[in-house]
Amino acid sequence: MKFNNDMLRLYAVTDRHWTGEQTLYEQVRDVLMGGATCLQLREKDLDEASFYEEAKNIKELCRLFDVPFIINDNVMLAKEIDADGVHVGQDDMACVKAREILGPDKIIGVSAHTIEEARIAKEQGADYLGVGAIFPTSSKDDAEVLGIERLKEMTETIDLPMVAIGGISYDNCLLLKDTGIDGIAVISALFGQKNIKQATIDLKKRVDALYETMHTCLTIAGSDSSGGAGIQADLKTMLANKVFGMSAITALTAQNTTGVTDIMDVTPGFLESQIRAVFDDIYPEAVKIGMVSSKELIHTIVEMLKHYDAKHIVVDPVMVATSGAKLISDEAISTLKEELLPIAEVITPNIPETEVLTDMEVKTVEDMEKAAKKIYDTYHCAVLVKGGHQLNDANDYLYNGEKGTWFKGHRIDNSNTHGTGCTLSSAIASNLSKGYTLEESVRHAKTYLSGAIGAMLDLGQGSGPMDHGYNI
């Protein structure tokens, strides 16, 4: 059986002291039915013949559930019955010797209590480490308690899958979140419970929560029927950046790579219903706002985001086309300035939009810096002024009120750039939802955008879309 890290998620270690009214075989069956991802047979007192028979039977049971069967310490028995692997302690056979006996394809785990022990195990060919004791444990009264901080130090120092062991239970396992471990190994938390199957189900759900890293992001924007911009581009971008995307649609458009042929705004009431539906169920950790064409819709958005105390609001102030043509009314622009921009964490105007927001011409990099400061002073939000409009080679300038940062880019010779503004702002929001700083989020977003453009997707008869999934 080929080893992978997921096998360590819920690692069950047997102990016959907990058998009670059940046989060990029955207990193992219940653990496997409950969702254990690995089974280690640990016997210290059983005679050799009985151990052999027991190991053969439990191995076959593990095969039925496609769960790796590991034998503790006894390397020769593991070889004899063709177990999936063996786990050795510091006082047992050396890992390098076990590897010689079992060959390259078997799983070998090693107990480690220090970084040095972990380093040696890795050098000798271990597949994973059992690290502990993390908490005080009744199974080994003399075990030194490693603690969470030393556990984190080991995961950060040694590049090898690790399973935490020692005193771990349903009640304390969530304390191990963000420690870098690949799973937990338990004995009494499973085998010491009255209903072993249910205890395993419950603990597996608990452990899975350690690895729930799906962050959430909402896009409030128009629909692009051709899929290159608007909410379609936003949701693709969020998925590619490993974020769960949700949407509230401001307008339906009939468009393709050659242009827009029709548009239909939603009503303010329906937009409010969409936003409420999202926030009342799956609270977004960041919000991206794209094109909104009317004063009433902008007012609704602001009212809802204030009501729900929305975080990490990114506004792509779609007001002016690259050609210079206005895309929304003067009244809507005024509402955008007065109500929406002041609640944003960052806005991402292009050069023409920057000129509208500042009532100044932007012709040089010095103008970009001056304009960014003026926007911040006026609206009290950070601003990313996007270059590229024959002003520079896609260099963008971020100003947050304290400092300005240039993000250097290079122009990619690809005319298919439909939806670049939507994509960049959505990528920024995605990274903010994951906990990155604004500066980090912009940097990651620009890297992603460059990759999407650089994939050189060529669809449609006009300015085509980018390959949002180039990195998937």
200 given a catalytic annotation: no
pLDDT value, residue 141: 56
Record: fold of 5-209: TIM Barrel (3.20.20)
Q: For residue range 203-260, list pLDDT tens digits in order.
A: 998 998 888 778 999 999 999 999 999 999 999 999 999 899 999 999 999 999 998 8
Where is pLDDT greater, at 470 or 248?
Answer: 248
462 given a catalytic annotation: no
Q: Pairing relation of β-strands 215-224 and 346-347?
A: unpaired
434 given a catalytic annotation: no
Choices 3.40.50.2000, 3.40.50.300, 3.40.1190.20, 3.30.1130.10: CATH for 215-454: 3.40.1190.20
- Listed in sequence order, the residues at least 6 apart from 205 whose beta carbon sits closer than 8 Å to its beta carbon are none
Catalytically annotated residue among 106, 122, 386, 446: 386
In the predicted structure, residue 147 carries a pLDDT above the cut 70: yes
14 given a catalytic annotation: no
Distance of CA 86 to the CA centre of its chain: 32
422 given a catalytic annotation: yes
How much is the pTM?
0.61
For the chain, give every domain's residue range.
5-209, 215-454
Q: Is 312 left (phi over 0), alpha (psi -120 to 50) or beta?
A: left
Q: For residue range 315-359, list pLDDT tens digits in order.
A: 999 886 554 556 688 899 999 999 999 999 999 999 999 999 999
Q: For residue range 93-136, list pLDDT tens digits in order.
A: 999 999 999 999 999 999 999 999 999 999 999 999 999 899 98
* Separation of alpha carbons 17 and 27, rounded Å: 12
pLDDT value, residue 137: 74
Mean of all residue pLDDT scores within the chain: 92
DSSP string, 344-411: -SEE---HHHHHHHHTS---SHHHHHHHHHHHHHHH-SEEEE---SSSSSS-EEEE-SS-EEEE----
Q: What's the first-to-final CA gap in the chain, in angstroms?
A: 27
Catalytically annotated residue among 38, 173, 381, 422: 422
Using alpha carbons, select from 191, 182, 186 the residue that is nearest to residue 171: 186
